[in-house]
A and B are shown apart, each in its own frame.
Chain A
Amino acid sequence: MLTALWNNRIEVVAVILFAVGFSTLLLHRNLLKKVIGLNIMDTAAYLFLTSLGYIRDRLSPIITDGATDPEAYVNPLPAGLVLTGIVVSVSVTAVMLGLTLRLYKRYHTLNLDEIYRMTHEEQEAER
């Protein structure tokens, strides 16, 4: 059991990080911390994916010194996926931060419960 965990230590760390990020995103009341949780969660997924793509003693997948044997190189696909994923998570983070800023300017707090209470009052006042 312990050896299995040790052999897959990067994956284990990735899963723990994912859980940390996920619970922060879900449970924290502070909007900025939620965004941080989101980033931890995404980064954990990329760590997992990167560790899958890495094979010890192999080269990055660019032909060097004329070696054309695929066995000499690592699989380029996971790296490509991680890059795509990073682009996605950067844009999502940007949107979330923009929203957070807007909410803060309007309600002067980052606490989601407080904001929720204030909007609820606005809604009750509505016809």
Chain B
Amino acid sequence: MSFFLNFPLFIIILSLMTAVTSSLLKEKAARVLTLALAAVAAVLNLLTLAYTAAEGKSFTYLMGHYPHPWGNELKFGILEPLFAAAFAAVLFLSVLGGKKQLDQKLEHSKGRFYYVLCDLVLVSLTALVYTNDIFTGYVFIEICTLSSCGLLLIRQNGRTILASVRYMMFSLIGSGLFLFGVIFLYSLTGHLLLPNLKESIAVLNASGERRLPLLAAVSLITIGISVKSGLAPFHLWMADTYGAALPSSSGILSGLVSKGYAFFLIKLVFDAFGPAFFYTSGVQNILFAFGVLGILLGSVGALRENNIFRMNAYSSAAQIGYIYMGIGLSATMGIEAALFQILTHALTKPAIFLASAGLSDSAGGAKKFHNLQGTGFMNPFAGVSFSFEAFSMIGLPFTMGFISKYLFGMAAFDSTHNKMIPTLIALALSTILNTLYFARTILRIYNTPENGGTVRVPIRQQKNFFIAGSLFALANLFFGIFARPFIAFLADGLRIF
């Protein structure tokens, strides 16, 4: 059904229309509409995926049938619809699972705007994943920044405003670098569409002309995107941001927004820079080094925290380090590991944030570890959900976290000697540190509280969180157990990227 090829554009238009409509509705109706939109987007993406996977090639979709250089294009093979579907599904589950906190902590006059922002995050992520034009990518990067800043800001106290300011600062530094890089690249090649860029860069690379400006452009773009994702040492905003935001917002920001940027970078590496140029440019080594640094700084930061949400935030920084380490490692196995890690983290971290919020609420809003004692007994489902997702983070077998770490290990053995040793050391160290800080948390929440008496939060009071948490865990187990065919599928997708 070649009609399925229209679906990506439909999703983008539908999300924009939903955003406008939601702003006119009441809070509850806006939430239903957003959840419906995310579900529909996930299904439509999967239908597109079914078609492209059956055809086994990638398609270029001309918007309004205007060819290059007048028209704008979308391009998608297997990976784009797969990741867009995953992003939509995770957005759905994050909003669904965080419903209780959204009801309690959102000001009701502003409630509907929260869902407008969710719709805008969805449209910008979808467009980032599908676009075939680097400047369109820039515009949607900025839309994504503004709407995710809004997700933080919707609950206003001093710290969320400061967190948003810090988030915006780092984001704007990143997008400024990205924009300048794009302009450099445009002045060198005269193109903005990715396939034309790839051709021109290959010609420039073969002739050896203007090597320095080309390198500058590619490194500005790469560094810009990685700053926006929160790669160390630009990860410091994360702790403030995720520590102060609503659990749904933290889940969307750490699980989706940073990952959307990373996916866009992978797309640029394959479709615009060309792996042949990128993996001889030296930029990949910078990414690798900062990825390893991010893993270590993030893990040590998490270990030093005594606030559960800030610990999760530092752990996110470490996970982003993994993704960039994978991109830096190699064009095949490294990128495969990075792609798998994007999915792993997108399915794990939002669930951890939701579970942490459940634990924290059962202790009357406490965030520090010594006040969270025994919360695993008070809110049994949140405790189980937190522990399971923590096991996935540590990398116990049958979870996606294990497969991620296995893939990084394999990619390390496949790469050059001077990258193999640091990767393995980073993997080993971060696994130890992960175990330390998650084990500490799990021990705390299952420690009998001093005052003895506890009030249990039954599942029927948190149905939505139960559904979302269970689905996150089931998806994690599913991809953790049936990893081999799925990795083969990712590899196919990479081949036709």
B186 near A45 with CB under 8 A, answer no
Partner of A84, one of B135, B183, B371: B135
Q: Complex formed: what's the CA distance from A88 to B156 in Å?
A: 24
The contact of A38 among B139, B159, B176, by CB within 8 Å, is B176
Interface centre among B135, B165, B368 (most CB of A within 10 A): B165
Closest to A34 in B: B169
Q: Is A31 an interface residue (CB 8 A)?
A: yes
In the complex, the answer to whether A95 meets B149 with C-beta atoms within 8 Å is: yes
Q: Interface 1/0s, chain B 148-161, versus A by CB < 8 A?
A: 01000100101101
Determine if B164 and A88 form an interchain contact, defined as CB atoms under 8 angstroms apart: no
Task: Give B127-139 as 1s and 0s: 1 = Cβ < 8 Å from A's Cβ atoms.
Answer: 0000000010011
Q: Is the CB of B173 within 8 A of A107?
A: no
A38 to B367, CA, bound (A): 35
| B365 at interface by CB-CB < 8 Å | yes
A: number of interface residues (CB 8 Å): 40
Cβ-defined partner of B146 (8 Å) among A34, A78, A92, A116: A92
User: Using an 8 Å CB-CB cutoff, how does the interface string of B351-380 with A read, 1 for contact, 0 for none?
Assistant: 000000000000011111001000000000
Interface size class of B (residues with CB under 8 A): 35 or more
Residues on the A chain within 8 Å of B138, using CB: 88
Interface string of B290-322 (1 = CB under 8 A from A): 000000000000000001000000000000000
| Assembly CA distance A49 to B183 (angstroms) | 6
A25 and B172 contact, Cβ closer than 8 Å, known pairs A52-B187, A84-B139, A106-B161: yes
A 15-53 binary contact with B (CB < 8 Å = 1; else 0): 000100110011000010010001001101100110010
Interface centre among B135, B138, B176, by most chain A C-beta atoms within 10 angstroms, is B176
A76-100, CB under 8 A of B: which get 1 and which 0? 0110010011001001100110011
| Interface assignment of A68: CB less than 8 Å from any CB of chain B | no
Q: CA A91 – CA B187 in complex, angstroms?
A: 26
B165 contacts A31, CB within 8 Å? Answer: yes
Which residues from chain B contact A122 at a C-beta distance below 8 Å?
Answer: 158-159
Flag if B176 contacts A42 (CB, 8 Å). Answer: yes
Q: Contact: A88 with B142, CB < 8 Å? A: yes
Please pick, from B69, B156, B159, B180, the residue contacting A48 in the complex, using a CB distance under 8 A. Answer: B180
Which of A44, A78, A99, A119 is the one whose CB lies under 8 Å from B159? A119
The answer to whether A115 and B162 touch across the interface, beta carbons within 8 angstroms, is yes
Nearest-neighbour CB distance to chain B for A87, whole angstroms, equals: 9
Smallest CB gap from B171: residue in A: A92
- Does B384 reach chain A (CB closer than 8 Å)? no
**Is B179 on the interface with A (CB-CB < 8 A)?**
yes
Are A91 and B161 neighbours in the complex by a CB distance under 8 Å? no
Chain A residues near B142 (CB-CB < 8 A): 88, 91-92
Other-chain contact of B183, A48, A92, A123, A126 (Cβ < 8 Å): A48
Residues of B within 8 A of A26 (CB): 173
User: Roughly how many angstroms separate A96 CA and B166 CA in the complex, as a whole number?
Assistant: 10
Given A85-B179, A126-B368: A91 in contact with B146 (beta carbons within 8 A): yes
Contact between chains at B180 and A45 (CB < 8 Å): yes
Verify if B168 is at the interface (C-beta below 8 Å from A).
yes
Tell me, in angstroms, the Cα distance from A11 to B139 when the chains sit together. Answer: 23
Contact A102 B156 (CB under 8 A): yes
Say if the beta carbon of A118 comes within 8 Å of chain B. Answer: yes
From known contacts A92-B142, A103-B165, A127-B367, infer whether A18 and B180 are also in contact, taking CB-CB under 8 Å.
Answer: yes
B487 smallest CB distance to A (angstroms): 38
Complex interface: chain B residues within 8 A of A115 (CB): 158, 162
Report the separation of the CA atoms of residues A126 and B368 in the bound assembly, to the nearest whole angstrom. 8
Residues of chain B with a CB closer than 8 A to A127's CB: 364-368, 371
The chain A residue with its CB closest to the CB of B69 is A77
Query: Known contacts A96-B168, A107-B158: does B371 contact A52 (CB below 8 Å)?
Result: no
Distance between Cα atoms of A102 and B162 in the complex (Å): 9
Residues in A whose Cβ lies below 8 Å from that of B173: 22, 25-26
Which chain B residue has the least Cβ–Cβ distance from A102?
Answer: B161
Measured between beta carbons, the chain B residues less than 8 angstroms from A92 are 142, 145-146, 168, 172
Query: In the complex the two chains form, is B186's CB within 8 Å of A103's CB?
Result: no
- CB-CB under 8 A from B183, the residues of chain A are 45, 48-49, 52, 81
* A-B contact list, 6 entries, CB within 8 Å: A18-B180, A49-B183, A81-B186, A88-B138, A122-B158, A127-B371
16 additional contacts (CB under 8 A) given A45-B180, A91-B142, A116-B162: A22-B176, A25-B172, A25-B173, A38-B172, A77-B69, A81-B186, A84-B135, A88-B138, A88-B139, A91-B146, A92-B168, A103-B161, A103-B162, A115-B162, A119-B159, A126-B368
